[in-house]
A and B are shown apart, each in its own frame.
Chain A
């Protein structure tokens, strides 16, 4: 394990009487970015606030840098927490906001001013120091809040849904500022989001919070290709679940029999998932599948088909989208097959 960063071990937090989060263990290295994803109400924000010291924990440890901060108040933890819409202190100017943590530490005034200017320049707002927070746009406020957070030189930066409240056009602005600051000052970054795209875009690793525990922590590519469980797969929005069983190296199901992809050891009753982009439809008057409908998405058009009583969503070639009621053939890429144990 690298020095610095954040290590959370065996965290348990109660929601009222019932335990809400349990056995949460993960780490974020210096300069690493980890995104926690989970459904609304799954406790993502509570996890972040617990790390910040704003919520008491029942059990477990929080280590920031190499210090155990579990029993320390928020101001001594070296972890800065930013709300979804960060709050700039309305009674201070933009510059004073950024200088907040420096003034708390009685950093010499000249140095403070220099640092404020540096940080404001880094977030692209070099002339904003004397402005009042209320005169700023939403994206500008975010950037000032980021500068203010980084000015505190935290070991860990905790971001709650950093981009969700922003217009799509502003997201890039803030994300660029954030990634730029992080690259320069290298804190460990822990963010929570309900948006998988945002997580994949921003994080080195994604932690999936399901039913109060971390179901899987993995880099985005690995997570999307190899979800650990059916629950994670469903959370990731994967469709096309087909029950079947593995027998002598082949997965047998209603759609036929496919070779188990290399590197997967599986046996017995399983659920197979054929990712949408691992099935192509091929127009064929005598095909074995019937088109039930067409679904248009930004990422491309897909087709809902039915074969042998199994409904599948499949990728359609842009050139020839079949119509409902037509028959087609399916071309399945078995190396993309995901095999997971069924949920009891």
Chain B
């Protein structure tokens, strides 16, 4: 009887249910409405970057006025964010009437996004992307970058184009599809108190690691892989041996020497080489907390900002290995589907201005190396740049230049990461 009455009673509630279902329908409808407002806001296709680049700069400036530039960039460092949001953005607004909208995303995410946008056939959502190396190569290979445009920027003449580190991005010619923004060089980070006599070469480092088991490691991402790549240069004939594009045989020979070195050293790594910090920030934390005695950075000046932020101890210093350390530049690209290439070009040009480059170089701001040929600047600017680099923790420019090694084809980097994940990270 009970069951029957329950069943029966429910049928009389059908109308009740209709009401609640209507409530649900309303909600779904509201959502659909919300979605359609975005889905239907398709504007006419913007002009591609190459077309805009062909215009007079004044026309580019007037096209850019009053627009918003969406800039996809790495947003993980408050110093960089502050530079972009609080120094760059207001100046862009005041001088060019451009609203800068920076949002997070790096390397693979940018590729992923553009690939996905192309697959979905929707208009682009980024005007400017912060890229280099393998990201640039992948984007170029997939035809996801607009251009050429970089050589049309008024400030492009100031760029230190004689430097191979700037004129070549991982052996590739930027070809006007990206504009240089900053220049950095790999450095080990050590503590002058804990390790007053740090190793200066890979050979010395290996000895040091064996003598101090558990005190060294590298991260699993870009920085750690750069470290391995330098190791490959050092043990297999220098950077010259790997120039001229990717070659499987040379890679095999070179990487074999890397695995050899690692097989010998890694049992003396932190945690016996069985675990690696996920990212370089985690490595910094291990270093600061004395779990390991070395950290590393792709930016020789990072130690300056990180000490200032209190993340690294005040006695931390950068160190260049005499086998040579990789120097590279980072660039700004404009996606093929960027809605506002004119605005993006104006931003890229402003970021190349001596003013913006100097501000970025200052240790209390970011300490990111300049891509300008400082010697060609007026003396007033030369003095300012010299003063900015005079921080006691900074490495002298001549030793940076002496040990700088260029990047080679991005494929080496990719293969090394892939094989490291499969061979080393997964254990012997």
A16 contacts which of B3, B11, B12, B15 (Cβ < 8 Å)? B3
- Asked whether any CB of chain B lies closer than 8 Å to the CB of A49, the reply is yes
Q: B265: shortest Cβ distance to chain A, in Å?
A: 72
Cβ–Cβ contact B4 & A15, under 8 A:
yes
Mask: chain B, 1-30; 1 = CB below 8 Å from A; 0 = not: 101110111011001000000000000000
Contact A16 B5 (CB under 8 A): no
The CB with the most chain A CB atoms within 10 A, among B3, B4, B9, B11, is that of: B4
Chain A residues with CB below 8 A from B4, complex form: 14-16, 20, 46, 55
Is B5 a contact partner of A45 (Cβ separation < 8 A)?
Answer: yes
In the complex, chain A residues whose CB is within 8 Å of the CB of B8: 49, 54-56
Interface residues of A in 67-118 (CB under 8 A from B): 73-74
CA A41 to CA B2, docked complex, whole Å: 9
Complex Cα–Cα for A46 and B1 (A): 7
Q: Is A272 in the interface zone, CB < 8 Å from B?
A: no
A53 at the B interface (CB under 8 A): yes
Cβ A20 vs Cβ B12 within 8 A = no
Verify B12–A53 contact, CB threshold 8 A: yes
Nearest neighbor of A42 in chain B, beta-carbon distance: B1
Q: Name the CB-closest residue of A to B3.
A: A16
Contact, CB under 8 Å: A56 / B11: yes
> How many whole Å from B337's CB to the nearest CB in chain A?
56
Number of A residues, CB within 8 Å of B:
15
| A43 in contact (CB, < 8 A) | yes
A142-162: which have CB < 8 Å to B?
none
Cα(A53)–Cα(B5), bound, Å = 11
* Bound CA–CA A14/B7 (angstroms): 11
CB-defined contacts of B11 to chain A, threshold 8 Å = 56
Q: Do residues B3 and A49 form an inter-chain contact, with CB atoms below 8 A?
A: no
Closest B-chain residue to A50, C-beta based?
B8
Q: Do residues A20 and B9 form an inter-chain contact, with CB atoms below 8 A?
A: no
Per a CB cutoff under 8 Å, which of A15, A45, A74 touches B12?
A: A74
Tell me the residues in window 31-68 of chain A with beta carbons closer than 8 Å to chain B beta carbons.
41, 43, 45-46, 49, 53-56
CB < 8 Å neighbour of B1 from A15, A53, A54, A73: A15
Min Cβ gap A257→B in Å is 46
Please name all residues of chain A whose beta carbon is closer than 8 Å to the beta carbon of B9 when the two chains form the complex: 49, 54-55
Q: Please encode chain A, from 125 to 149, with 1 for each CB lying within 8 Å of some chain B CB and 0 for all others.
A: 0000000000000000000000000
Task: Contact check, B12 vs A73: say whether CB atoms are below 8 A apart.
Answer: yes
Contacts of B5 in A (CB 8 A): 45-46, 49, 54-55
Q: Report the Cα distance A46→B6, complex, angstroms.
A: 10
Q: How far is the CA of A73 from the CA of B15 in the complex (A)?
A: 10
Q: Which residue of A lies closest to B11 (CB)?
A: A56
Interface string of A1-43 (1 = CB under 8 A from B): 0000000000000111000100000000000000000000101
A13 CB → nearest B CB, Å: 8
Chain B contacts for A43, CB-based, 8 A: 1
A16 to B2, CA, bound (A): 10
For the complex, give the distance between the alpha carbons of A55 and B2 in Å: 11
Residues from chain B with a CB closer than 8 A to the CB of A16 are 3-4, 7
Least Cβ–Cβ distance between A53 and chain B, in angstroms: 7
* Residue in A20, A54, A74 with the greatest tally of chain B CB atoms within 10 Å: A54
Residues on A with C-beta less than 8 A from B1 are 15, 20, 41, 43, 45-46
Q: Provide the residues of chain B in CB contact with A15, threshold 8 Å.
A: 1, 4
- Closest beta carbon of chain B to A305's beta carbon, Å: 40
CA distance A108 to B166 in the complex (A): 85
Nearest residue (CB) in B for A18 is B4
- CB-CB under 8 A from A20, the residues of chain B are 1, 4
Which residues on the B side are within 8 Å of A55 (C-beta)? 4-5, 8-9
- Min CB distance, B183 to chain A, in Å? 69
A73 and chain B: residue at smallest CB distance = B12
Bound CA–CA A23/B397 (angstroms): 107
In Å, the complex CA distance between A49 and B11 comes to 13
Complex alpha-carbon distance, A43 and B4, angstroms: 10
B7 nearest CB neighbor, chain A only:
A16
* A53 cross-chain contacts in B, Cβ below 8 A: 12
Least distance between A320 CB and chain B CB atoms (Å): 48
Give the distance to chain A from B17, nearest Cβ to Cβ, in Å: 14
A55 to B1, CA, bound (A): 11
Give the residues in chain B near A49, CB-CB below 8 Å: 5, 8-9
Q: How far is the CB of A70 from chain B (nearest CB, A)?
A: 14
Query: CA A293 – CA B15 in complex, angstroms?
Result: 62
CA distance A43 to B2 in the complex (A): 9
Contact B3 A54 (CB under 8 A): no
Tell me, in angstroms, the Cα distance from A20 to B3 when the chains sit together: 12
Tell me how far the C-beta of B11 lies from the nearest C-beta in chain A, rounded to whole angstroms: 6
User: For A14, what are the chain B residues with a Cβ–Cβ distance below 8 Å?
Assistant: 4
Docked CA distance A4–B1 (Å):
30
Q: B12: which A residues are within 8 A, CB to CB?
A: 53-54, 56, 73-74
Q: Which residue of chain B has the shortest Cβ distance to A15 in the bound complex?
A: B4
Measured CB to CB, the closest approach of chain A to B303, in angstroms, equals 65
- A16–B7 Cα distance when bound, in Å, is 9
Interface hits, B77-131 → A, CB 8 Å: none
A209 to chain B, nearest CB (A): 12
- Kindly list chain B residues whose C-beta atoms are within 8 Å of the C-beta of A45: 1, 5
Q: How far is the CB of B7 from chain A (nearest CB, A)?
A: 8
A45 to B3, CA, bound (A): 12
Residues of chain B contacted by A73 (CB below 8 angstroms): 12, 15
The 4 closest A-B pairs by CB, nearest first: A55-B8, A15-B4, A56-B8, A54-B9
Q: Residues of A at under 8 Å CB distance from B?
A: 14-16, 20, 41, 43, 45-46, 49, 53-56, 73-74
Q: List 17 A-B contacts (CB under 8 A).
A: A15-B1, A15-B4, A16-B3, A16-B7, A20-B1, A41-B1, A45-B1, A46-B1, A49-B5, A49-B8, A49-B9, A54-B8, A54-B12, A55-B4, A55-B5, A55-B9, A74-B12
